[in-house]
Amino acid sequence: MAVRSFRDIGTWKQSGRLFFWRFTENVRDYPGWNFMLDPAGSKSVAGLLLAMSKSSEDCARIVQVSHPTTEVLRAANNRGAGCFAPTKLSIELDAGDADTWSLDDDGVALQWRLGAHTAALAADAFANPLKYFDSTIGAKPALWSWGLLKSTSTRKPPERTRGR
């Protein structure tokens, strides 16, 4: 998926959905944070992270987070474990340390601090979440990718016919 890099991070506008959560049960097997996106969210957030990775100055943006649905949580298969999902995610670039990586929450919002190198790694994971499916990026706490949210359309696909 081609990702558009933004020249001015201040002009970035979120599109699509980002699901971001941590499990509150069975954290031994599912430590850290988790994410899933819809296709528009993948392109949008990956573009932001890519632009941040190229910035020579500290910068930050707020990203709205969707509460994970049953379908989203099913991808991780943590057997009905409870989860915490922030309502917003503050993504912050530390231009002074390329390897910065931290995820800290206050019970409502989540602060994700990245350096240029880790932001580039995250941009690739968000642009290609299926490539990283059921694997982690980053240091502790790790960030798990659960791929792209599939369409939940109830419309039947058109019937296929073979030419004779």
Q: State pLDDT tens for residues 79-106.
A: 889 999 999 999 999 999 999 999 999 9
The pLDDT value recorded for residue 118 is 98
Give the pLDDT of residue 159. 43
Query: What's the domain range around 37?
Result: 12-148
- Which runs of E-coded beta strand occur in the chain? 18-23, 33-37, 59-64, 83-84, 88-93, 101-105, 109-114, 135-137, 143-148
Within a domain: 82: yes
* 3-class SS shares of the chain: helix, strand, coil, % to 5: 25, 30, 50
Q: How far apart are CA 109 and CA 37, in angstroms?
A: 18
Asked if residue 3 is part of any domain, the answer here is no
Mean pLDDT for the stretch of residues 124-149 = 94
Using the predicted structure, report yes or no on whether residue 70 has a pLDDT greater than 50.
Answer: yes
Residue 75 lies in a domain: yes
Q: In this prediction, what percent of the chain has a pLDDT beyond 90?
A: 77
pLDDT given for residue 29 in this prediction: 86
* Tally of structural domains, the chain: 1
Largest CA distance in the chain: 65
pTM, full prediction = 0.85
Q: Is the pLDDT of residue 150 over 50?
A: yes
65 in a structural domain: yes
Q: Are 90 and 110 in contact (CB under 8 A)?
A: yes
Asked if residue 55 is part of any domain, the answer here is yes
Binning pLDDT at 50, 70 and 90, where does residue 160 land? very low
Whether residue 158 lies inside any domain: the answer is: no
What is the sign, positive or negative, of the torsion defined by CA atoms of 155, 159, 160, 163?
negative
Q: Is 135 exposed, middle or buried (0-12, 13-18, 19+ CB in 10 A)?
A: exposed
Closest CA to 121 of 139, 104, 105: 139
Q: Is residue 154 part of a domain?
A: no
Residue 18 belongs to some domain of the structure:
yes
